Amino acid sequence: MKNLFCILLAITMLASLCVPAFADDPDYLSGTPWLCSTLEGTVTQDTVTNLKDDFGLAVNKEKILSLKIPDGYNRIGTFMDVVLLQTEEVKNMFLGDAPEGHDARLAYDLFNLMMDWESRNALGVAPLKAQVDVLEAIDSVDAMTAYFTATPFADQLGGLWDGGSITDLNDSSRKILAVDSCDLLMDDSAEYETPTDYGITKRDARGELAQKLLKKLGYSEADASQKFDNCLAFEALIAPVIYTNEEQKNPNSNSRIMNYLDSDELRQLQGNLPILEKFALDGFPEAEEYLVTNPDFVEKLNDLYTAENLTLIKDYLIVHGILDNASYLDRECYEWANDCSNVISGASGILDDETVFSGEVSDTLSWPVAQLYAQTYLHQEDKDRISALVDKLIDAYHGILKEADFLSDTTRAAAIEKLESIDKRVLYPDSWEKYSCEDLNFAGPENGGTLWDARRAITEYQMVESIRNYSKPVDKLKWVATPQTVNCYYNPSNNSITILGAYARGGNYSSDMSEEELLGKIGVVIGHEISHAFDSTGSQYDKDGNMSNWWTDEDHDAFLKRNKKMEDYYNAIHPWEGQDLHGSIVTGEACADMAGVKVALRLASEHENFDYDAFFRAYADLWASKETLQRVYYRLNDVHPLPYLRINCTLQQSDEFLNFYGITEGDGMYLAPADRVNIW
C-alpha cells in the first residue's frame, strides 16, 4: 500500500572500508554484541572469526567475501540467489512465442506492451498530463468533491485516503469496507517530527524525480519546486495523526485499528469528505458498518479539507500521482524513476527491460503467470515431499505446545486444536478454477493497444472483482499469494501456512538435499510459519481465523511477559553504536525463527547419527546476505530481524547448539538459560 522510491547518498571511506554513510558517519564496525556482518563492507579478509563468538560470521565469512551485489539490486545472498533464479525463470516464459489460452495471452500482451518503447515514447507524458490537467482545473472544494465522486476510479490520479474491501478481522468469513490513512513521501509519519538522514534522503530523491516530471509536464522550475513544497506542507499537517511505522507494525496495533462505525457515524465523522460517496461511485453498496482504522486521521483530514488548503491538496494528489506513474511512461521518465529507486535502495545500474517487465507482469497479472510458472517449473514429487515434511513438523509441534509450562490445560487444548486446524498449502494450488481472469480484456501491441490503456483496464477489472467478491462469503480456500512468489507465509485470517513454489528452489530446497540440509533450510522455514500461529500477532486469532481471545487471562499475561522479555533482548542489541533496534516490532518474526529451529531439532532428534554441524551450518547459510547501507536502514524498520541476527539470536537460545559446539560462559554466542527469550 505504501510506495517506496528513491535517493542519493554520498559514498565515503570508513577506515579501510567502502561503506556509504549518512551525515553522522557512525562507526559501522561498532556493533554489539556482534558485528553487523550483513552490511556491505563490514567484513574483510582481515576480519577475525571465532565460531563460538559469532557463529553467523564464522560460517558465512568466505561466502560474504565472495558475494558481489549485482547491478540493479541492493542485496545478494542465499535468498537473493533464489530471487534471481525466479527472475530468470519468469523472464524466459515471455521470450518465446505467444502462449495459448486467454489468461496466458493477457500476460504475454502486457509484457510486450511494456517492451513497446516506440509506442510509449510516442505517447510520452500525454496520458498523465490529461489526468493532471483535470486536477489543475479544480477551483473549489465542491469541485474537488465532484472529482472524487464523479471521476471513475481508474481515471483518478490519486486519493486523500485509502479505502476498499478487506477481510474483517473479527469475522473472517466476511468482507468489510475499510478506510485507512494516506501515503507519505517519507513513508513514516515519525519522520515529520524528527527527520532521520534516511528519511531526508527519501524526501530529497523523490523531490528531484517529481520536479523532473513536473517540468516535463510543462511546469516552470519555480512552479515544479513549489508544487513539491506544497505536497510536503500538506503531509506535515496530516502526519501527526497518522500512525508511525513502529505503531503500525506493533503486534498490539490491531486493537487500535478496530473501530467499527455504522453509516451514520461515518457520515458524521467524515464531515465534508466524500468517503461514503466515493464508495458508492466505485460501486460498493451501502454497508451496515465500516472499519475506520484511524478516526483521528479522518477527523483531521476533514479539518484540512477547506478552500484555504485546496492548493496543497491538489499538489499532494499531483505529486503522488506522477511519482506512482513515472515508470509506465516514456523511456526518459522510466530511467529517472530507476535512478530514484536506486538511490533509496543503494542499488546501481539498470536491469534489462525483459527482467524488469516480466517481474512487473508477474506482479500485475499474478494468476495468469502463476499457472504457467507452475506448469513449467514445479513438480508433483517436490510438492509431495514438502507436504510430508509439513505434516511431520506439525506433528512435532504438538510436543512444543505440550511442554510449554506456562500454559494451563484449557489454553493448551485450544492451542492444539488450532495447530491441528492449520490449512497446509504447498507449492501451487491443486486446482486453477478459482483464479481465472476471463472477464479481463485489453488490446495487445499488434492491435494498437498501449501500456497506459492496458493498465487502466486492469485497474478497472480489479475494482469490479473487488466489488463482486465483497458481497460474497470469503473463500478461505482460495490462495492469496501466487506460486511464482519467493516467499512463505502464515495467514491468521484463515489459519493457513503457504510454502510457495518459487521459494522452494535453489539454495532453499532441492530434491537431492540431505536430511540435515532439508531440515536446516526449508524445514526451519516451515516450522517458522507454523509458529506464526502462536506468535504475538497470530496468537490473537482463533482456529477459524477470527480475532478472538482463546487464552485464559493468566496464561495470556504469562505470554505477554515472555514477549516483553524478547522485546527487551532485541532493544539491547545495536547494529552499530548509537543505532537502536525496534524490539517491539520484531517479536513475532523472532519468535517464529526460534520456534522454527526448535521444532526442526525435535525432528532431528529422531534421526540416528544426525549431523548437527551440517544442520546448523545450513541454517546459517539460509540467512547469508550482503546488503547496501540503504537496505540495512530499511531493515531497521522491518518486522524481520537483520539476517545476521536471525542466525545468532536464534541459535543462542538452543541447548543443542550450545552443547554441540561446547559454547560456554564467556563466549560471544553464549546466553545463560535465565536470559533466553524463546517464547515456545
Distance in angstroms (rounded) separating the CA atoms of residues 678 and 419? 19
- Give pLDDT, residue 22: 53
Euclidean distance between the first and the last CA atom of the chain, given in angstroms as a whole number: 32
3-state SS, residue 500: strand
Tens digits of residue pLDDT in 118-133? 999 999 999 999 999 9
**Mean residue pLDDT across the chain:** 94
The ranges assigned to domains in the chain are 126-329, 379-428+483-675
Domain 379-428+483-675 has CATH 3.40.50.720: no
- Give pLDDT, residue 26: 92
pLDDT band with cut points at 50, 70 and 90 for residue 96: confident
- Give pLDDT, residue 190: 97
- Give pLDDT, residue 4: 26
3-state SS, residue 369: helix
Of 638, 232, 283, the residue nearest 460 (C-alpha)? 283
Tens digits of residue pLDDT in 176-188? 999 999 999 999 9
Tens digits of residue pLDDT in 53-69? 999 999 999 999 999 99
3-state SS, residue 95: coil
Q: Give me the residue label for grid cell 539491547.
A: 572
Mean of the pLDDT values across residues 13-18? 30
- Give pLDDT, residue 19: 42
Tens digits of residue pLDDT in 621-657? 999 999 999 999 999 999 999 999 999 999 999 999 9
SS3 track for 395-448: HHHHHHHHHCCCCCHHHHHHHHHHHHCCEEEEECCCCCHHHCCCCCCCCCHHHC
Cβ-proximal residues to 91 (8 Å cutoff; 6+ apart), any chain: 354, 355, 358, 359
CATH H-level superfamily of 126-329: Neutral endopeptidase , domain2 (1.10.1380.10)
Distance in angstroms (rounded) separating the CA atoms of residues 528 and 489? 9
Model confidence at 13: pLDDT above 50: no
Cβ-proximal residues to 133 (8 Å cutoff; 6+ apart), any chain: none
pLDDT band with cut points at 50, 70 and 90 for residue 107: very high
Query: CA 478 → CA 73, 374, 423, 544, distances in Å?
Result: 32, 16, 11, 15
- Give pLDDT, residue 24: 63
Tens digits of residue pLDDT in 335-383? 999 999 999 999 999 999 999 999 999 999 999 999 999 999 999 999 9
> For the chain, how big is the Rg over CA atoms in Å?
26
- Give pLDDT, residue 15: 27
Task: Answer yes or no: same fold for 126-329 and 379-428+483-675.
Answer: no
Contact 154, 460 (CB under 8 A): yes
- Give pLDDT, residue 274: 98
Tens digits of residue pLDDT in 432-465? 999 999 999 999 999 999 999 999 999 999 999 9
Alpha helices in 49-164 (DSSP H): 55-66, 78-92, 102-115, 117-123, 126-136, 141-150
Distance in angstroms (rounded) separating the CA atoms of residues 418 and 539? 10
Model confidence at 673: pLDDT above 80: yes
- Give pLDDT, residue 251: 87
Mean of the pLDDT values across residues 64-83? 97
Taking the mean position of all CA atoms in its chain, how far away is CA 263?
32
